[in-house]
Amino acid sequence: MLPETPCNGKHAFCAIPGAGSAKAADAVMGFGDWAPDGLNLQASHRATLSTDSTRLTIMPHIFCVANQKGGVGKTTTSVNLSAALHQAGQRTLLVDLDPQGNATMGSGIDKHKLDRSIYHLLVGLAGLGEARVKSPSGGYDILPANRDLAGAEIELVNLERREKRLREALVTTMADYDFVLIDCPPSLSLLTLNGLCAAHGVIIPMQCEYYAMEGLADLVNSIKKVHAHLNRDLKIIGLLRVMFDPRVTLQQQVSSQLESHFGDKVFRAVVPRNVRLAEAPSHGMPGVRYDPASRGAQAYLAFAAELIERSGTF
Ligand SMILES: Nc1ncnc2c1ncn2[C@@H]1O[C@H](COP(=O)(O)OP(=O)(O)O)[C@@H](O)[C@H]1O
Ligand SMILES: [Mg+2]
């Protein structure tokens, strides 16, 4: 249960699994009585400037790619968006926060051969500079993950500021990046909570299908709780339609309902179902590098351009 009074951090873990169920699940497409601004949180008050010894630097945009459902395209989005942002000249860090290490492998890094990983960073056994590596195929930096990270869930429970460990680690590298993307695991766990506490915003990839809104409402409830109790900077950046097949009438219907209900919270870019995106990870490459001309790659390049264009408004 959530505490009634502002949370002192000790209750944070309890808050997430208890995220409320969705009113939105009731109605036909699952929209229920959601208002068009159902994804808007109170204006953030993100500090925009930080200094290092040589220059004044805009803080990076730190975005979680989150959806508690598995297999909805979080990792594909994180990896391809990182590569597309890097290609567009943006200094980009990808944080693999999933013990499956799929973003790590998809970035061309063997998760079985890591000396240091995000696990070591979160439990205080390594600094960010020691854990960070460069993706040979994508060009961006990455904090890699492997199964060790599953152990962090348990170890973190007994540590101070357990939900703020990633946030505190990222503070040390603010001046180095324009974008930090966090690939979250498919759960509303302490790892995801670390991601949400570190981020300014959440990008939610979703498929245009019948039950998509049910999961979305649970996620939005959790984001609202983190916003209320732990991270006032957090907001929902937008919904990204992925694995879209325009030949399926239901997908078209859900897509246009998303647009009419959530307006500009729905990104213009739409990622189609495209086999080249699915093939790329087995080559250790982001799709945008594996086959830049493919429709999937083009969609992620367009999405990166849209994010950069709108970044002044986040
Ligand atoms: N647009 C797409 N077209 C085709 N396959 C996709 C697309 N996006 C993701 N996939 C595939 O779907 C599966 C799940 O995607 P993934 O990004 O790993 O989801 P998640 O990280 O949410 O679990 C993977 O096999 C991936 O290659
Ligand atoms: Mg994933």
pLDDT tens per residue across span 43-52: 444 444 443 3
Phi and psi for 133 in degrees, rounded to 5? -135, 170
Contact between 69 and 78 under an 8 Å Cβ cutoff? The reply is no
Provide the sign of the torsion angle of the four alpha carbons 249, 251, 254, 259, taken in this order: negative
pLDDT value of position 154: 87
Distance 271 CA to ligand 2 centre (A): 16
Name the residue with the closest Cα to ligand 1, atom 8.
Answer: 73
Q: Strands of 128-206 (E only): list them.
A: 133-134, 141-143, 179-183, 201-206
pLDDT tier for residue 111 given thresholds of 50, 70 and 90: very high
Name the residue with the closest Cα to ligand 1, atom 3.
Answer: 273
pLDDT in tens, 61-106: 999 999 989 999 999 999 999 999 999 999 999 999 999 999 999 9
Q: What is the pLDDT averaged over residues 178-188?
A: 95
pLDDT tier for residue 309 given thresholds of 50, 70 and 90: very high
pLDDT tier for residue 307 given thresholds of 50, 70 and 90: very high
The share of the chain scoring above pLDDT 90, in percent, equals 69
Mean pLDDT for all residues in the chain:
85
Q: How far is CA 186 from CA 48, 61, 214, in A?
A: 30, 22, 15
Answer whether residue 53 shows pLDDT above 70. Answer: no
pLDDT tier for residue 58 given thresholds of 50, 70 and 90: low
In the numeric block, the tokens 């159902």 are attached to 38
pLDDT value of position 112: 98
pLDDT value of position 217: 84
Report residue 67 as tokens: 């959806």
In the numeric block, the tokens 């429709």 are attached to 295
pLDDT value of position 218: 84
Amino acid letter for position 169:
A
Phi and psi for 183 in degrees, rounded to 5? -85, 105
d(C-alpha 113, C-alpha 123), whole Å: 19
Pinpoint the alpha helices (H) of 21-99: 74-87
pLDDT in tens, 193-217: 999 999 999 999 999 997 777 778 8
pLDDT value of position 55: 34
Name the residue with the closest Cα to ligand 1, atom 5.
Answer: 278
State the SS3 of 276-293. HHHHHHHHCCCHHHHCCC
What atom of ligand 1 comes closest to residue 281's alpha carbon?
Answer: 27
Q: What is the pLDDT averaged over residues 149-153?
A: 90
CATH tag, 55-313: 3.40.50.300
d(C-alpha 194, C-alpha 192), whole Å: 5
Which ligand places an atom closest to the C-alpha of 69? 1
d(C-alpha 219, C-alpha 43), whole Å: 19
pTM for this model (two decimals): 0.87
* Ion ligand 2 residue ranges (Cβ < 5 Å): 74-75, 102
Distance of CA 52 to the CA centre of its chain: 27
Which ligand places an atom closest to the C-alpha of 205? 1
Distance 277 CA to ligand 1 centre (A): 8
Provide the sign of the torsion angle of the four alpha carbons 170, 172, 173, 175, taken in this order: positive
d(C-alpha 111, C-alpha 99), whole Å: 10
Q: Strands of 79-233 (E only): list them.
A: 92-96, 133-134, 141-143, 179-183, 201-206
Answer whether residue 304 shows pLDDT above 70. Answer: yes
Answer whether residue 182 shows pLDDT above 60. Answer: yes
> Where do the domains of the chain lie?
55-313
Indicate the range of 19-28, 82-91, 127-136 predicted with least confidence: 19-28
pLDDT value of position 42: 61
Q: Judging by beta carbons within 10 Å of its beta carbon (0-12, 13-18, 19+), is residue 186 exposed, middle or buried?
A: middle
Report residue 223 as tokens: 């984001």
Phi and psi for 308 in degrees, rounded to 5? -65, -45
d(C-alpha 272, C-alpha 288), whole Å: 13
Contact between 45 and 100 under an 8 Å Cβ cutoff? The reply is no
Q: What is the pLDDT averaged over residues 255-262?
A: 91
- Between 184 and 56, residue with greater pLDDT: 184
Enumerate residues lining ligand 1, CB below 6 A: 70-76, 102, 186, 242-243, 271, 273-274, 277-278, 281, 296
Contact between 98 and 68 under an 8 Å Cβ cutoff? The reply is no
pLDDT value of position 119: 97
Which residue from 69, 76, 271 has its CB within 8 A of the most atoms of ligand 1, so it is best to mutate?
76
Q: What is the pLDDT averaged over residues 104-124?
A: 97
